[in-house]
Structure formats: C-alpha cells, structure tokens
C-alpha cells in the first residue's frame, strides 16, 4: 500500500498570524519542513495548534503572513495545495448512514482518485475493521470510527499529512498501526505536522519537536537534540509557567 | 476532479444516505400531509373557495416542505464536519452545488406529487386530468426554488440561527417564483395552456437560468471561509 509523497516538496511558512474577532490565535509563525520530516507540536489548550493545522490545510485563511507547499500558495492556490495534503482532524468526516467501506470509497473518489483493486480492503484489514466494514458507521464505537479515519489516511498518498490529536480514541493496537503508517510515510519522503497532548507517543514519532504557546512557536528543535525528560522539563517551564 | 465527477459522487452518496435513512422523505411526507390537512380546515370546502385558493396553497405547501428539505441537505454534511471534508476536495466545488441541486429537486418533486395526490383527496379535486399541465410548472418552479435554496442553505449551514436565517434570506427572493408558479398552476388546474400567459412561463425559465448559473458560480466562494 502506498503512503505519503515522494516528490521531495517542502513547506515554508512566514509570519503566519490569525485573529478571530480581534483575538490573536497565531502570531507571526515561521516554519520550514522538508521531505521526511515530522513536526510534532505540543502546547496547552488554546495555544493555536488546531488553527495552524486548519490554515495549513487551507480550511482557514491567515490574517497575515504567507505559506507555500511545494511552491503552491496556501491562499491563492488552494486547489493545488489540497491535492498535496491529507487531514486527520477532530471531526471524523464520516457519514453515519454509510458503511466504513462506502465512506472510504467516497473519500478516495472525492480526492479524485480511484483506488487500485484491493487497496480499500487492505486498508480495512490493516486497521482491523474487516468484521464491521459493511455495517453502518452509526453502529460503530468512537474507537472504531477513529480506525476508519486512520484507514482513510492509509489511502491518502499526499505529501503532507496534518494530524490533529490523532491518538484520540485509539487503543494500543490502533496506535501501533498509526505509528507504523507514519513511519512509512516518513521513509517515503512524506512530511507530517501533528498536534498532540500525548507526550510520549508524540515524542517517539517526531523528527522535530515544537512547542506552541499563546500563538507563538516558542520551540522548534530536532528531536535528537534533547531527551524526553529534558523536553518535558522545557515544556513545563516555557509553555505552562515560566514563559508567561 | 471534474465538476461532473464531483456531481456524480454527491448524487450517489446523498441518494444512498436518503434511501437508507428515509429520514428526509418520511419527514417531508408527514409534514406535507399535516399541512394539507390544516389547509382543509382553514379554507373550507366549497368548490369556489377551493378552486381560488388551490394554486397559492399548493405552492405554499411546496415551499414550506422544500424549506425543510433544503436545510436537511446540509444537515447531513454538518455531522462529523463532513462539510470541511467536501471543502478539501481538490476540484470544482460547483459540482457539489449541482449534486445538491439535483438531489434537492428529486426530493421536492417526490413530495410535490404526494402533496398533489393528498390535495386531490382532501379537497375532492381530480388532479389526474390536469397533471400533464402541472408537471412543467412543478419542474420549473422547483428548479428555481432549489437553485436559490441550496445556495442559501450552504451560506447558513454553519450559523447558529440557521433555522431563522434560511427563510429570512430565501423568502423575499422567492416572490417572483411564487407569483409565476401560482399563476401557471391556476392555468394548469383550469386545463388551459400554459402559453396563454407566456410571460409568466418566460419569467420562471429566466429565473431558473439566472439562479442556477449564479449558484454554480458563487457556490465555491460560499464554501470557503
């Protein structure tokens, strides 16, 4: 099964800011991400993680600043950008009256592709949903629905994956699948930006660690540059207390 | 993704959901039965009263039930943030508008036929001989209504006061359709040719063309933030 892009494109963001009715959710954020990199963003609630992911996915327009993905402008060339991103969001994007299989087929079709024979079945099998693949989504548990969204990510061959709290409702087995899939995405040159509160799992997957606080990217370092306890300490100091 | 492919996907998906849940059709049928039932008590039963009020009441029933249908079209997309997923589709979002327009029209036509049947039953009117004259009016009036309704349903989909805002925005624009369709329905019920008052027919056709084109062109902008 194909994951991630291998086109070697990169993401560049300069001075990105977003205000909602006069309140700044993001303030002058700069970011560069290259092939094979996974930036995991940590930050308290309301620090701007979801806003950043929504701007990168083109669902929101920035108030100020610019961004490009593979040279395509995030605002002016949204259609080009949309071909290159995969989004795993808070919302499941699932139709409750359709089955997981039908949702996956619809999702793939909406991205303009027709998955190769057996690809959807393989994705369903990989996330362990064979038994309920033809049941209506409304009959599934939250965890199973999350697995369906994970299966949709498996079908996505985009260059940049945007993952907002991907661990929510995932059990250990599904978390392992998510980690494997992301690893493969990285190895094939794909990029990912992930926002999470799950420190340990997020730290393991990251090639770069970021901390967002009050709309500012106050840390952006390679993961190799620090140990997990050191990162936790830094987070506590800069995002939750000392940085105020 | 071409707009026709997008239209096809939306049609398949929406019809599948509708057939499976039957939520839209069942509610529309129940609501329209209730409306016709209330009309029966409101206007009495003398032949003259019924004949004079029938065209206006029929279109009032179509529009009131259609309004609910319009809101329902985007209710499905609001659940689980599916609307965001559709917005991320790399293609001409005009295709999404066209898909929603066709689904909305089909749902309304089915309801309108049921309303006509119930109207005939409750008011002792024989609709069968005039159905041929009424069908073109139903087609044209419904396309215009759904064309503008789909656009406004998308605009109001994420508003908190959407149940109020949709009719507030939609009803003033519906006046030309209501006038033309009621007048043509009057002709149809009398068994006269619709061309006897061709200016109403031209108005309805013009309204349809303008609003379908306008809806198709503006829908992608409506879908963006």
Give B191 to chain A, closest Cα distance, Å.
44
- B90–A97 CB contact, under 8 Å: no
**Greatest extent of chain B over all pairs of C-alpha atoms, in Å:** 58
B1 touching chain A per CB within 8 A = yes
| Higher local confidence (pLDDT), B158 or A233 | A233
CB contact under 8 A, A95 and B21: no
Are A91 and B82 an interchain contact pair (Cβ–Cβ within 8 Å)?
Answer: yes
Q: What percent of chain A has pLDDT over 90?
A: 76
Strand order in the sheet with A208-213: A85-88, A160-164, A191-195, A38-42, A208-213, A216-222
- Nearest residue in chain A measured CA to CA from B7: A110
pLDDT of A74 above 70: yes
- B21/chain A closest Cα distance in angstroms: 7
Could you give the count of Cα atoms lying within 13 Å of A52 in the half-sphere of its Cβ? 37
Hey, of B14, B15, B85, B99, which one would you mutate to test binding to chain A, going by the most A CBs within 10 A of its CB? B85
- Check CB contact under 8 Å for A96 and B80: yes
Instruction: Examine the pLDDT at B24 and tell me if it is beyond 80.
Output: no
Q: What is the pLDDT of residues A25-69, one digit of tens each?
A: 999 999 999 999 999 999 999 999 999 999 999 999 999 999 999
Straight-line distance from the first to the last Cα atom of chain A, in angstroms, rounded to the nearest whole number: 46
- Residue A242 has a pLDDT of 47
CA A143 to chain centre: 18
State the pLDDT confidence band at B175, using cuts at 50, 70 and 90. Answer: very high
Per-residue confidence (pLDDT) for residue B1, from 0 to 100: 66
Distance from CA of residue A138 to its chain's centroid?
Answer: 24
Q: Which two tokens stand for residue B68?
A: 């609910």
Quote the domain boundaries for residue B192. Answer: 3-223
Report the mean per-residue pLDDT for chain B: 89
Once rounded to an integer, what is the mean pLDDT over residues B131-151? 94
**Beta strand pairing call for A208-213 and A216-222:** antiparallel
B80 interface with A at CB cutoff 8 Å: yes
Cα separation, B176 vs B188, in Å, equals: 18
Please, which pLDDT band fits residue A239 given cuts at 50, 70 and 90? confident
Domains of chain A: 11-241 (3.40.50.300)
Query: CA B214, CA B225: separation in Å to the nearest integer?
Result: 19
- Cβ count within 10 A of residue A47: 23
Contact assessment for residue B33 and residue A118, using Cβ atoms and an 8 Å cutoff: no
pLDDT tens for A174-194 read: 889 899 999 999 999 999 999
- Total domains in chain B come to 1
The mean predicted confidence, pLDDT, of chain A is 90
Q: Does B162 touch chain A (CB under 8 A)?
A: no
Segment A215-238 shows an average pLDDT of 92
Q: Which residue has the higher pLDDT, B160 or B34?
A: B34
Rounded Cα distance between B152 and B155, Å, is 5
Percentage of the residues of chain B whose pLDDT score is greater than 90: 46
**Count of positions (residues) in chain B:** 225
Q: Which residues lie below 8 Å from residue B116, measured CB to CB, with a gap of 6+?
A: B58, B127, B131, B134
Q: Which helix (H) or strand (E) holds A220?
A: strand A216-222
Query: What's the longest Cα–Cα distance across chain A?
Result: 54
Confidence of residue A6 (pLDDT cuts 50, 70, 90): low
Q: Contact A71/A10 with Cβ under 8 angstroms? A: no
Distance from CA of B146 to the nearest CA of A (A): 23
Task: Residue B225: list chain A partners with CB under 8 A.
Answer: 59-61
Residue A2, chain B, CB below 8 Å: the answer is: no
- Interchain pair A112, B9: CB under 8 A: no
Asked if B221 reaches chain A (Cβ–Cβ under 8 Å), the answer is: no
Q: Residue A141 — φ and ψ, nearest 5°?
A: -75, 165
The pLDDT tens digits for A86-95 are 999 988 999 9
Note whether A90 contacts B81, CB cutoff 8 Å: yes
Given a cut of 70, is residue A5 above it in pLDDT? no
Give me the mean pLDDT over the B71-84 stretch: 87
Mean pLDDT of B143-161: 90
Structure confidence by residue, pLDDT tens digits, A116-151: 778 899 999 999 999 999 999 999 999 899 999 999
Q: What mean pLDDT comes out for the span A109-118?
A: 78
Please indicate whether, in this complex, the C-beta atoms of A109 and B9 are within 8 angstroms of each other: yes
CB atoms within 10 A of CB B48: 8
- Write down the residue that tokens 């899939």 correspond to: A181
Q: What is the pTM of this model?
A: 0.87
B26 pLDDT higher than 60 = yes
**Range with the lowest mean pLDDT among A20-24, A156-160, B148-152, B156-160?**
B156-160
For an interface test with B, which of A58, A92, A93 has the most B Cβ atoms less than 10 Å from its Cβ?
A93
A89 vs B contacts (CB less than 8 Å): 81, 84
What is this model's ipTM?
0.86
Are A60 and B1 an interchain contact pair (Cβ–Cβ within 8 Å)? no
| Residues constituting chain A | 244
DSSP string, B67-86: HHHHHHHHHHHHGGGHHHHH
* B5 with A112: Cβ contact below 8 A: yes
């Amino acid at each position: 099964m194909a994951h991630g892009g291998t086109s070697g494109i990169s993401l560049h963001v300069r001075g990105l800011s977003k205000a909602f009715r006069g309140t700044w959710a993001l303030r002058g954020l700069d970011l560069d991400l290259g092939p094979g990199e996974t930036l995991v963003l940590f930050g308290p609630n309301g620090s701007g993680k979801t806003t950043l992911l929504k701007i990168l996915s083109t669902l929101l327009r920035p108030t100020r600043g610019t961004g490009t993905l593979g040279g395509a402008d995030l605002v002016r060339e949204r259609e080009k950008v949309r071909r290159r991103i995969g989004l795993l969001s808070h919302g499941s994007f699932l139709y409750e009256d359709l089955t997981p299989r039908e949702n996956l087929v619809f999702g793939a079709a909406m991205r303009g592709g027709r998955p190769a024979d057996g690809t959807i079945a393989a994705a369903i099998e990989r996330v362990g949903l064979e038994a309920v693949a033809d049941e209506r989504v409304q009959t599934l548990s939250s965890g199973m629905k999350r697995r369906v969204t994970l299966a949709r990510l498996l079908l996505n061959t985009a260059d940049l994956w945007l993952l907002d709290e991907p661990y929510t409702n995932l059990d250990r087995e599904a978390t392992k699948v998510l980690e494997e899939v992301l690893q493969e995405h990285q190895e094939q040159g794909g990029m990912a930006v992930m926002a999470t509160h799950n420190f340990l799992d997020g730290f393991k997957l990251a090639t770069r660690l970021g901390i967002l606080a009050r709309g500012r990217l106050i840390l952006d370092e390679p993961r190799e540059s620090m140990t997990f306890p050191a990162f936790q300490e830094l987070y506590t100091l800069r995002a939750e207390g000392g940085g105020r | 993704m071409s707009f026709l492919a997008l239209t096809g996907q939306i049609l398949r998906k929406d019809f599948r959901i509708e057939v499976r849940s039957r939520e839209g059709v069942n509610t529309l049928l129940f609501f329209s039965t209730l409306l016709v039932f209330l009309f029966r008590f409101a206007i009495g039963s003398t032949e003259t009263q019924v004949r004079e009020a029938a065209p206006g009441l029929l279109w009032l029933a179509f529009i009131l039930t259609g309004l609910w249908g319009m809101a329902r079209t985007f209710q499905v997309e609001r659940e689980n943030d599916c609307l965001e997923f559709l917005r991320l589709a790399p293609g001409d979002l005009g295709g999404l508008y066209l898909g929603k327009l066709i689904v909305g029209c089909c749902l309304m036509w089915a309801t309108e036929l049921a309303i006509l049947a119930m109207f005939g039953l409750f008011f002792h009117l024989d609709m069968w001989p005039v159905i041929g004259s009424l069908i073109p009016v139903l087609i044209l009036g419904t396309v215009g209504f759904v064309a503008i309704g789909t656009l406004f349903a998308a605009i109001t989909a994420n508003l908190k006061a959407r149940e109020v805002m949709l009719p507030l925005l939609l009803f003033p624009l519906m006046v030309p359709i209501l006038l033309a369709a009621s007048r043509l329905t009057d002709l149809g019920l009398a068994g006269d040719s619709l061309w006897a008052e061709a200016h109403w027919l031209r108005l309805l056709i013009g309204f349809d063309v303008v609003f379908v084109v306008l809806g198709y062109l503006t829908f992608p902008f409506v879908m963006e933030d």
